[in-house]
Amino acid sequence: MNIIVLDLEWNQNSLGKKERSSDKPVFEIIEIGAVKLNENYEMTGKFSQLVKPQIYHTMHKITADLIHLQMKELKKGKDFPTVMKEFLEWCGKDYIFATWGPLDLLELQRNIKYYNLEPLSDRPIKFYDVQKLFSLGIMKEKTRKTLEFAIDYFKIEKDIPFHRAFSDAYYTAKVFERLTNPDILQFVSFDTFHIPKDKKEEIKISFPGYFKYISRGFDTKSEVMEDREVASTKCYLCHRNLKKKIKWNSSNGKNYNSISYCDVHGYIKYKCRIKKSENGKYYAVKTSKFITEEKMIKLQEEWNKGKEEKKIKNMKLPNQK
């Protein structure tokens, strides 16, 4: 299997408005760059192509300053459908994407949808988020670093400028080559532009230290947490249903927390985030992680404090208008 290290540059409304309609993407892709790595993580090919704008015909100032491209240069490019056809032919049939951060695949699929092209997939796409791999595997933290930070960390030669699609794909590939330890590559990501259509497609995957579940779609937020699988608190090691020590609670109706106890493996913290998909459905991303009793007590105190503060905030004081 090949790894396609992908990077995109995009433009937006010159007024800086981020209004999203059903038929127009906020960001229009204006350049696609990629590097192909073989199964030994060796560079075997490159792709670089400007995209002729069809949506926004004025370059946003921030975009122009960042990537140093002008509209007259972009007009020499090919239209997006043509570039995508050439790009996918170059990718081949057996590959997995790698990107710096999670946004490139999302915006690529939004542009694909706008032009009514065949989707990359009809379900979540597994890919390598190299930025996340670097943070978890090398820095041992969740804080995301810039691509240039990673380049400096590994003392990689800066032989071409940053902030163009191919150059950033090239540097991302250089970083990825240093993250090919199987222990690091376990932390795959999933793009959810297309969410699971049914229970059979739902994603359940174990990582070192935690478990992730991505549900199918529901019509309303309330339906998500009413679903038995979403609301369940199982031990992901012995697969037993557990009694909740702290029931599901939320301060904003989007992020829910709960804690259960397994007699064999200890306390488990569950975090469930409710998201809205591109097709308007609501779905859950639930993670499960073992914690100590001390951490459980601390979280319980924090959540109780949060509930009290919310209660006080919602109370109508005397003479309040």
pLDDT value at residue 292: 95
pLDDT value at residue 321: 42
Q: How many structural domains is the chain composed of?
A: 2
Q: How far is 42 from 2, CA to CA, in rounded Å?
A: 10
Residues pairing with 49 in the sheet:
32
pLDDT value at residue 316: 56
Residue 178 sits in the same domain as residue 218: no
Residue range of the domain that includes 181: 2-185
Say which residues have a Cβ less than 8 Å from residue 55's Cβ, sequence separation at least 6. Answer: 24, 25, 28, 114
Query: Has residue 211 been placed in a domain?
Result: yes
Which has the closest alpha carbon to 173: 7, 30, 31, 1? 7
Which of 155, 185, 215 is a domain's end point? 185
- Report whether 234 contacts 240 (CB < 8 A): yes
Q: How far is 307 from 250, CA to CA, in rounded Å?
A: 9
Q: What is the DSSP letter of 218?
A: B
Query: Has residue 28 been placed in a domain?
Result: yes
Residue 208 sits in the same domain as residue 129: no
| pLDDT one digit per residue (tens) for the chain, 321 residues | 999 999 999 998 765 455 545 578 899 999 999 999 999 999 999 999 999 999 988 888 777 777 777 788 888 899 999 999 999 999 999 999 999 999 999 999 999 999 999 999 999 999 999 999 999 999 999 899 999 999 999 999 998 888 899 999 999 999 999 999 999 999 999 999 999 999 999 999 999 999 999 999 999 999 999 999 999 999 999 999 898 899 998 878 889 999 999 999 999 999 999 999 999 999 999 999 999 999 999 998 888 887 777 777 666 555 554
Which of 161, 185, 209 is a domain's end point? 185
Which of 137, 153, 185 is a domain's end point? 185
Cα separations in angstroms, 180 against 130, 134, 252? 10, 11, 39
Phi/psi of residue 239, nearest 5 degrees: 65, 25
- Report whether 172 contacts 146 (CB < 8 A): no
Phi/psi of residue 52, nearest 5 degrees: -70, 125
- Report whether 100 contacts 147 (CB < 8 A): yes
Q: What is the DSSP letter of 309?
A: H
Q: How far is 299 from 145, CA to CA, in rounded Å?
A: 28
pLDDT value at residue 15: 54
